[in-house]
Structure 1
Amino acid sequence: MSMHNPAHPGAILKELILELGITVTDAAAHLCVSRKTLSKILNGRGAITTDMALRLEMVFGKPSADHWLRLQSAYDLWQARNNRQAVHVVPYEMNLA
């Protein structure tokens, strides 16, 4: 079942960071990434990669890396489906007779 316009996982991560009361700079330091890299994700301009998902799991414990990747995948697929006019393919017609 697909979601309707799922949130970018960066928005969810931003909420988590705010709830914990830590700064973006501190979170970036714990994740061993630049503040710029983390900021791009938090502002929806960057994706949560497998590497980042694992870092998030290791630093924050939960949610798991799998969960972060599912969020990113759902977001990416929703975006792609809503931009399908940009994808030029020819459907394969199968003759099942």
Structure 2
Amino acid sequence: MNMHNPAHPGEILKELVIEPLELSITEAAHHLGISRKTLSKVLNKRGAITPEMALRLEMAFGKPNAAHWLRLQNAFDIWQTRQRFAEIQVIPFEICHAI
């Protein structure tokens, strides 16, 4: 299944959580217990949603839960990596299946 270019989870966080709540990056970072710089990196697509960050988001905002944030990050990461498919050097195993 070919997937389209998924949005970075930081972009989703910004547009669907931070902006509707009219939070500043400083306010949101304070509630999340992280630095403004760390949150800014995520919101500006220069940082990833880690398992710890996903849990912090769940604790601070409730829904969506931590697993959802990690699925978004995983989809983004896989798509980005597939764009470099030709650069990845792998020799596949030839596995024979017994009948």
Range into which the TM-score falls when normalised by the shorter chain:
over 0.9
Task: Write out per-residue CA displacement over residues 60-90 of structure 1, whole angstroms, 9 at most, x where no aligned residue.
Answer: 0111001000000000011111111221111
Structure 1 runs of 4+ with >3 Å offset: none
TM-score with structure 2 setting the length: 0.91
> Counterpart amino acid of 1:13?
L
Q: 1:85 corresponds to which residue?
A: 86
Identity %: 63
CA distance, structure 2, for counterparts of residue 78 and residue 67 of structure 1: 17
The alignment of Structure 1 onto Structure 2 pairs a total of residues equal to 97
- What one-letter code is carried by the residue in structure 1 that aligns with 2:3? M
Letter of the structure 2 residue corresponding to residue 37 of structure 1: T
Q: Secondary structure at the match of 1:75?
A: helix
Structure 2: which 5+ runs fail to align?
Answer: none
C-alpha RMSD of matched pairs (Å): 1.4
Aligned residue identity for 2:9: P
Q: Map 1:1-97 onto structure 2 (within 5 A).
A: 3-15=3-15, 16-96=17-97
Counterpart residue type for residue 86 of structure 2: Q
Structure 1 gap segments, 5+ residues each? none
Q: Tell me the TM-score normalised to structure 1 length.
A: 0.93
